[in-house]
Amino acid sequence: MDIPGMPRLTVVVPAYNESAVLAAFHERLSKVLDQLPLDCDVLYIDDGSRDDTWTIMQSLATADPRVGTLKLSRNFGKEAALTAGLDHVDADAAVVIDADLQDPPELIPQLVEQWRAGYDVVYATRSARAGETGFKRFTASAFYRAMEIMSDVAVPRDTGDFRLLSRRALAALSQLRERQRFMKGLFAWIGYRQTAVKYMRDPRLAGKTKWNYWRLTQLAIEGITSFSSAPLKLATWTGLAASVLAFLFGLKVLLKALLHGDPVPGYPSLMVVVLFLGGIQLLALGVIGEYLGRNYNETKQRPLYFIEEEHLPATRTT
């Protein structure tokens, strides 16, 4: 299939402990890639898996010359694994897809179609979330709403990392080397012509999700602090409002004491004010701390990942 002049596409697949689905995933993906009028290859990134994901990747590479593999030196998290993969793409476009078959590979032709029509970022938007609880759906939608209100970039709703990136979008993304990587936000931030393709999101085929509410909360904080300083302003405004209220309340207390004397010391009101202000102060400190911590991480300028082993696809000429 190595016709000169044919556009090249690399599919980037981060995987962490995905031995249960990887073979099934590759089979479905291959069927799709076989149909595409493109010179395709696949790059699997083993994000420091503790099961035999890496062995399976090696056997996939042996069986299929289009397969390349990267092994990170430890588990760096999906964002870093993705970045490692995208850094190794030299094709005309890249598709980012999860290994657990929640993103249907069958959608890739539609993504490619939009790319051929001139779009730089084609993201897949899920129109239904099968196999997820109502509470998960609610929290996800609340998060997108909060992001929309607070940040300067509109992160598209109900969109995961499943998307296609053109060469110039890839080049732009590779310049964003921040350590705190909220990928959905970064994809949106680079701009260029972006469009959506709708699909139904399936429950994962096997294995279990690495996300729990703790990690999702961290991701939400990540998203907001990476793209918005609104919480800092909110802290300022809340502080200001609380001081104005406290001042008015102080005036009232003073007037009352002047007019009627002070027969009973105001223990309850004192407690209320002290606790309220104490709470606000701790909250504001916490918000500052979140930003400060991120600042600290960025200033260390550490690399985003380390590669232990690297086998680029045999079909790749460069």
Q: What does the binding site for ligand UDP look like in residue numbers (CB under 6 A)?
A: 14-16, 18, 47, 75, 77-78, 81, 98-100, 102, 204, 209-211
Closer residue to ligand UDP in complex, CB, 75/195 = 75
| Cα separation, 36 vs 42, whole angstroms | 13
Q: Number of residues in contact with Mg ion, rule: CB under 5 A? A: 3
Coil vs helix vs strand at 275: helix
In sign, the C-alpha dihedral spanning 307, 311, 312, 318 is positive
Q: Are 26 and 42 in contact (CB under 8 A)?
A: yes
Coil vs helix vs strand at 300: coil
Closer residue to ligand UDP in complex, CB, 198/252 = 198
- The burial of 132, by beta-carbon neighbours within 10 Å (0-12 exposed, 13-18 middle, 19 or more buried), is given as middle
As measured in angstroms, the least distance from the Cβ of 274 to Mg ion is: 47
Amino acid residing at 72: L
Binding partner selected for residue 15 from Mg ion, ligand UDP, none, CB under the kind-specific 5 to 8 Å limit:
ligand UDP
Binding partner selected for residue 16 from ligand UDP, Mg ion, none, CB under the kind-specific 5 to 8 Å limit:
ligand UDP
Residue 17 contacts Mg ion per CB under 5 A: no
DSSP 205: S
As measured in angstroms, the least distance from the Cβ of 51 to ligand UDP is: 11
| Cα separation, 148 vs 145, whole angstroms | 5
Smallest Cα–Cα separation from 205: which of 104, 137, 126?
Answer: 104
As measured in angstroms, the least distance from the Cβ of 98 to Mg ion is: 5
Q: Spell out, one character per residue from 198 to 237, where the chain touches Mg ion: x when CB under 5 A holds, - when not.
A: ------x---------------------------------
| Cα separation, 202 vs 179, whole angstroms | 31
As measured in angstroms, the least distance from the Cβ of 137 to Mg ion is: 15
Binding partner selected for residue 129 from Mg ion, ligand UDP, none, CB under the kind-specific 5 to 8 Å limit:
none
Closer residue to Mg ion in complex, CB, 39/100 = 100
Interacting residue ranges for Mg ion, rule: CB under 5 A: 100, 102, 204
